[in-house]
Amino acid sequence: MGEKIVIFDTTLRDGEQSPGASMNVEEKLRVAKQLEKLNVDVIEAGFPMASDGDFEAVEAISKAIEGCEIAALARADITDIDRAWGAVRYAKRPRIHTFIATSDIHLRHKLKKTREQVLEDVVRAVSHAKGYTENVEFSTEDATRSDLEYLCRVIEVAIEAGATTINIPDTVGYTIPSEFSRIIRTIKERVPNIDKATISVHCHNDLGLAVANSLAAIESGARQAECTINGIGERAGNASLEEIVMTIRVRKDLLDFYTDIHTEQIFPVSRLVSTITGMVVQPNKAVVGTNAFAHEAGIHQDGILKEKTTYEIMTPESVGIPKSSLVLGKHSGRHAFREKLGELGYELSSAELDVAFKRFKKVADQKKVVYDEDIMTIVEDEIFRVPDKYKLININVQSGTVTIPTATVQMEVDGKLVQDAGFGDGPVDAALKTIQHITNSKSRLVRFAVAAITGGTDAQGEVTVGIEEDGQTTIGQGASTDIIIASAKAYINALNKLEYRKKRLQGL
């Protein structure tokens, strides 16, 4: 089974430092509870010294979460460490995570301290944290740009002072996998007491290498990976939790490690973090992007339908996504088109399929993505073209700020002229309710969408209407420069299709 990799989630600390991604106490608690379901080993709940809100969040999470260690971040400063302990002390398994920079760039320009002064700070900070808890993590900020000999000395001193986890951060996303592997191996070889601590890594994604660097470090001896949901974090973000975890799971033939993550919870927590932070997951994001298990190319779709492993190295269900999706477009083939028709409830003969597929290809050449509604319209128009039971003759609507919306509709029903009037919450609602009354329809409106076909104030609008009755759903469309007329046309189009569908099912 191999060795366990500890998953240290810092979404609520480093992830929240993404511009615009700040969360309030309630939101942080919601994410923490989902991380507990995900079964991460450590939740870094925040930086208590940063603000009262962060302190309250760490305190609330420490009290509410039972299944994970809770870590609070603190600079190598006595006041910071006291503040961190004050917030995290309620946790069943608290951790203090203290840090200081070790690169000459940071020492010279930010800290304005000598190497010896930093060593003294390390001993003081770790020893003080150790007075509160045995579980102390120490981070060497900007480790990958630090002098390696000095870095090893800092780590040795931190372990002597009581640190049980040593974190080697690639703070600015500077290193590459081969270099990072060498750094980790050197630390293991040159730090005499390294066996008394767990080596952790915390990689940023400035060069797009955060996950690759984390995995390289793991292969070289690191046993804790610090990461975030969706890879959010400072600047270009952090190593993505879902990518690290699923790489270890999928490539266990080469990576003799495991995690305790409940992978089926990955997608739910990804969506929660995206919703709360407002940071939309890019469609082509690995593991959790909307395209991660979507297939458009005809060859790929055909392969997936025959055997999923042809183009999927993991199942969507394994990360909490219900199933793969076949996104139909100009590259899609007959197999995928037929499969989609089956999902939509259509069973066509070979001849009918030929007709519908030919029309589908024409539509696909004009649109990037062909949606289910488009396919339903294609089939209804090409295969189930219906005679008009209902036909719109005239419609007149009155509406305004002091007028109750009223619609007067004149229609032909089976060739007979019928007229009626009705009220509604708005002009479209009044028109559709009047049409429903004239046709005695028991159908339910399940979709109403408006799109402009052309630009300008005189734009032609296209309305798509979906109605459902007794499990049968039909889609109607109508277009006009008057959106009320377009709505009426679309609704009547859907009603005609529904009537025809009912007759077909009855064998009439």
One pLDDT digit (tens) per residue for the chain, 508 residues: 799 999 999 999 999 887 667 788 988 998 999 999 999 999 999 999 999 999 999 999 999 999 999 999 999 999 999 999 999 999 999 999 999 999 999 999 999 999 999 999 999 999 999 999 999 999 999 999 999 999 999 999 999 999 999 999 999 999 999 999 999 999 999 999 999 999 999 999 999 999 999 999 999 999 999 999 999 999 999 999 999 999 999 999 999 999 999 999 998 899 888 878 878 788 788 888 877 776 555 666 566 557 767 767 787 888 887 655 556 777 778 887 887 777 665 678 888 888 888 888 887 787 666 766 577 667 766 676 667 899 999 999 999 988 899 999 999 999 999 999 999 999 999 999 999 999 999 999 988 988 765 555 555 677 888 899 888 878 787 877 789 998 999 999 889 888 877 776 676 5
What's the pLDDT at 347? 72
What strand order describes the sheet that includes 390-400? 390-400, 403-413, 416-423
Instruction: Name the DSSP letter for residue 312.
Output: -
182-211: buried (b, 16+ CB within 10 Å) or exposed (e) per residue? ebbeebeeebeebeebbbbbbbbbbeebbb
Range(s) within the chain of domains with CATH label 3.30.160.270: 390-505
Q: Name the CATH superfamily, with its identifier, for domain 3-277.
A: Aldolase class I (3.20.20.70)
Amino acid letter, 301: Q
pLDDT of residue 271: 81
Q: Tell me, rounded to whole angstroms, the distance of Cα 234 from its chain centroid.
A: 18
The pLDDT of residue 302: 65
Structure tokens at 303: 């392969």
Q: What sign has the CA pseudo-torsion 333, 334, 337, 342?
A: negative
Element (H, E) at 12: none
Element (H, E) at 24: none
Residues of the chain with CATH 3.20.20.70: 3-277
Q: Is 191 helix (H, G, I), strand (E, B) or coil?
A: coil
Give the burial class of 31: count Cβ atoms within 10 A of its Cβ; 0-12 exposed, 13-18 middle, 19 or more buried: buried
CATH number for the segment(s) 390-505? 3.30.160.270
pLDDT attached to residue 297: 58
CB 242, CB 14: distance < 8 Å: no
Residue with tokens 């990518």: 243
What pLDDT is attached to residue 289? 82
Q: DSSP per residue over 81-139, as a string? A: HHHHHHHHTTSSSEEEEEEEE-SHHHIIIII---HHHHHHHHHHHHHHHHTT-S-EEEE
Residue type, 229: I
Give the torsion through C-alpha atoms of 373, 375, 380, 383, to 10 deg.
-170
- In this prediction the pTM is 0.67
Cα 290 from Cα 167, distance rounded (Å)? 33
